[in-house]
């Protein structure tokens, strides 16, 4: 067998077959197998990317205007209600100015009274704002089911609580 015959193929049973013909379609099969494995991975990366981009865009810092919250309160719940309403109003002002949307309701805000001395000025409060990121098909796989929580602690100087415990 000379070099020319070897490059073109070899004879089997009187028929000439090409090595190139034996390999036909292998690249298409490999591409199909690889794309079947990489497509879900790519969709997951895109879903997580969208979640974190939108979470960063929609995250709202819980802010309390110190001048808006002052005075003596006879119950912890009345102070919590005022704090929730104040934080929701501030968050909606901030999001409306930056993105044109509002999405924080007072029910999305948690106000926890951490420390206070009755009949003294000053109350330490922990605030949380929960913002829901737009749901996608992958929402069950996202952290906190697609909710972003921002926390902060605030010391309110001009607030007095007239109860023993909250």
pLDDT tens per residue across span 130-144 = 877 666 666 666 666
47 or 98, higher pLDDT: 47
Mean pLDDT for the chain overall = 78
- % of the chain exceeding 70 in pLDDT: 72
| Pick from 3-12, 36-45, 68-77, 85-94: least confident | 3-12
Residue 55 has pLDDT above 90, yes or no: no
CA 84, CA 125: separation in Å to the nearest integer?
Answer: 11
Supply the pTM of this predicted model: 0.61
Residue 25 has pLDDT above 80, yes or no: yes
pLDDT in tens, 57-97: 766 777 887 788 888 998 999 999 999 998 888 877 776 76
DSSP secondary structure of 42-53: HHHHHHHHHHHH
Q: Which residue has the tokens 């007072």?
A: 106
> What's the CA dihedral at 143, 140, 104, 151 to 10 degrees?
-20
pLDDT bucket at 34, cuts 50 / 70 / 90: very high
Residue 150 has pLDDT above 60, yes or no: yes
CA 30, CA 37: separation in Å to the nearest integer?
Answer: 11
For the residues 43-52, what does the mean pLDDT come to? 84
């Amino acid at each position: 067998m000379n070099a020319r015959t070897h490059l073109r193929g070899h004879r089997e049973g009187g028929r000439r077959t090409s090595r190139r013909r034996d390999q036909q379609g292998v690249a298409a099969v490999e591409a199909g197998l690889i794309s079947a494995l990489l497509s879900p991975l790519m969709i997951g990366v895109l879903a997580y990317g969208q979640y974190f981009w939108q979470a960063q865009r929609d995250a709202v810092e819980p802010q309390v205007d110190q001048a808006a919250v002052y005075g003596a309160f006879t119950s912890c719940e009345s102070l919590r209600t005022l704090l929730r309403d104040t934080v929701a109003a501030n968050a909606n002002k901030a999001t409306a100015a930056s993105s044109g949307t509002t999405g924080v309701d007072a029910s999305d805000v948690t106000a926890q009274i951490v420390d206070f001395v009755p009949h003294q000025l000053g109350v330490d409060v922990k605030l949380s704002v929960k913002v829901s990121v737009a749901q996608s098909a992958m929402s069950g796989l996202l952290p906190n089911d697609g909710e972003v929580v921002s926390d902060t602690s605030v010391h309110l100087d001009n607030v007095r609580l007239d109860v023993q415990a909250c």
